């Protein structure tokens, strides 16, 4: 008996990538239609983060994901404003370390054209993550 694969590719679309003025990827489908890549940003609070150094970009022809580590909400706001303006970020996902106030402040600063969400886990997941973070020394570091 054969097992079915977890992921099945139903159809492959030939794509050509170009870069637009907003630095967002465009994908041109085989039938000539042009679509813009969905551009998202994940921000995590980390005690020893340097947002100028601690950032990455993963991308395909249809999706661009920036990830940036910050120490506090002020840095998160600055990164959000920068990447919305310079990279066309359409969606921001914040780590569970953000309070409801932080989320509201960032959402208000970015306006109605940018989605702002926060990742939250259940109680067990939060305890597991907190234990791992404590063991790594997160809570003994001074936040800026």
pTM attached to this predicted model: 0.71
* Residue spans per domain, the chain: 39-140
Q: Under CATH, to which class is 39-140 assigned?
A: alpha beta
- What's the confidence (pLDDT) of residue 110? 96
- Supply the mean pLDDT for the chain: 80
Per-residue pLDDT reduced to its tens digit, 42-51: 999 999 999 9
Confidence of residue 21 (pLDDT cuts 50, 70, 90): very low
Please return the burial class of 94, using the count of CB atoms within 10 Å of its CB with bins 0-12, 13-18 and 19+: buried
Helix (H/G/I), strand (E/B), else coil: 111: coil
Q: Which range among 19-23, 47-51, 93-97 shows the weakest confidence by mean pLDDT?
A: 19-23
Strand order across the beta sheet in which 63-70 lies: 55-59, 63-70, 38-45, 91-94, 115-118
CA 84 from centre of chain: 12
- What's the confidence (pLDDT) of residue 80? 97
């Amino acid at each position: 008996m054969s097992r079915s694969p977890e992921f099945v590719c139903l159809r492959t679309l030939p794509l050509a990538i170009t870069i637009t003025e907003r630095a967002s990827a465009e994908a041109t489908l085989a039938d000539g239609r042009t679509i813009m890549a969905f551009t998202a940003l994940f921000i995590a609070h980390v005690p020893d983060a340097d947002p100028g150094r601690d950032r990455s970009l993963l991308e395909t022809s249809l999706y661009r994901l920036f990830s940036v580590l910050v120490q506090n909400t002020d840095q998160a706001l600055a990164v959000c404003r920068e990447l919305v303006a310079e990279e066309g970020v359409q969606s921001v996902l914040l780590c569970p370390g953000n309070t409801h106030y932080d989320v509201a402040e960032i959402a208000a600063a970015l306006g109605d054209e940018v989605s702002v969400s926060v990742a939250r886990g259940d109680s067990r997941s939060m305890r597991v993550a907190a234990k791992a973070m404590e063991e790594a020394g997160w809570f003994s570091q001074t936040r800026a």
